[in-house]
Amino acid sequence: MATFFGINLFALSGQLLVGLINGSFYALLSLGLAIIFGLLKIINFAQGAMYMLGAFFAWMALNYMGINYWAALILVPIVIGCIAILIERFLVRPIAGEDHLYSLLLTFGIALVLQGLFTHLFGSSGLPYKIPAELTGGTKLPFMYLPNYRAWIIVISLVVCGSTWWVIEKTKLGAYLRAGTENPQLMQGFGINVPLITTLTFGFGVALAGFAGVLAAPVYSVSPDMGSNILIVVFAIVVIGGMGSIGGAILTGLLMGVIEGLTKYFYPEASATVIFLVMVIVLLIKPAGLFGKEA
């Protein structure tokens, strides 16, 4: 067994890999939250439920309609994005002028309803979803065995997060988003349909959660509470990264996954709480978050 100053490299790199995979999901989910918070100033508590919905839709598509993983990876986020657009248009927008607490309670309610519905329909034990045939097997690396599907998760979520960052920070559409975040009224005055952009942004942010759900289906069991379990951690990550910072949400997501993985190796008892510990420290030292702008 490969050891280095008493560190078991095989076990350590295994935990690092698990950390990176968790981090990939954290990054996708917190990126969606950050985008939605930036433009709508809504803390979307339903983001976890939409992630769960993504996994269930992938499972249902495969088992009821024979739609395979690859098609689901494209179709499910689109369907979930459309559901989100309906939610924004008919539930969120009517309370847009009210205190933010209302939208928080609304999305929390939506999350509970969805979670309850799927517990009722499928039970809480979890459903299996097979890894697609193209991605079974793995690669032997010097210190570890890297399953292909896990490598795929890391690569594709980096690609999706990276392109989202690029669109928001480097394109004209992204400039509309950033400016709309800062001063929506003036953007309207320039002739830009801000309500439309807001709706589409909400749809996209939630679709990211749906995408993460499909991606997660083969590695985590598809269960109604998978969303609520991950959401609390993701909120901590958004707070650490800084509310509304796009790049911050992605980097912090990955980083916290890795920190969690390292903790699992060095001091497993703390692995479930280490992210909250980081959150407390960051809030004490830099209340706006690592990448957030001071208000």
Partner 1 sequence: MSSTGEKLRISDLHAYYGESHILHGIDMTIMQGELVTLLGRNGAGRSTTLKAIMNMVGRRTGKININGNETIGMPAHKIAHLGVGYCPEDRGIFSSLNVEENLMLPPNVRSDGMSVEEIYEYFPNLAERRYSQGTRLSGGEQQMLAMARILRTGANVLLLDEITEGLAPVIVQKLAEVLVMLKERGLTVLLVEQNFRFAAPIADRHYVMEHGHIVEEVQKHELEAKTELLNTYLGV
Task: List interacting residues with partner 1 (CB under 8 A).
Answer: 172, 175-176, 178-179, 181-183, 185-186, 188-194
Q: Please say whether the dihedral angle defined by the alpha carbons of residues 22, 61, 114 and 222, taken in this order, is positive or negative.
A: negative
Tokens 């969120």, located at residue = 92
Q: Compare residues 136 and 188 and give the one whose CB is closer to partner 1.
A: 188
Q: Compare residues 114 and 194 and give the one whose CB is closer to partner 1.
A: 194
For residue 91, give the DSSP letter. I
Distances in Å between the Cα of 89 and the Cα atoms of 46, 92, 96, 187, 202 are 15, 6, 10, 20, 10
Q: Compare residues 59 and 176 and give the one whose CB is closer to partner 1.
A: 176
Q: Compare residues 66 and 97 and give the one whose CB is closer to partner 1.
A: 97
Tokens of 162: 């990276």
Give the shortest CB-174-to-partner 1 separation in angstroms: 9
Tokens 């590695």, located at residue = 219
Give the shortest CB-294-to-partner 1 separation in angstroms: 12
Q: Compare residues 181 and 199 and give the one whose CB is closer to partner 1.
A: 181
Give the shortest CB-235-to-partner 1 separation in angstroms: 23
Q: Rounded to 5 degrees, what are φ and ψ at 40?
A: -100, -10
Give the shortest CB-184-to-partner 1 separation in angstroms: 10
Give the shortest CB-293-to-partner 1 separation in angstroms: 9
Residue 127, strand partner residues: 222
Structural contact between residues 260 and 237, judged by C-beta atoms closer than 8 angstroms = no
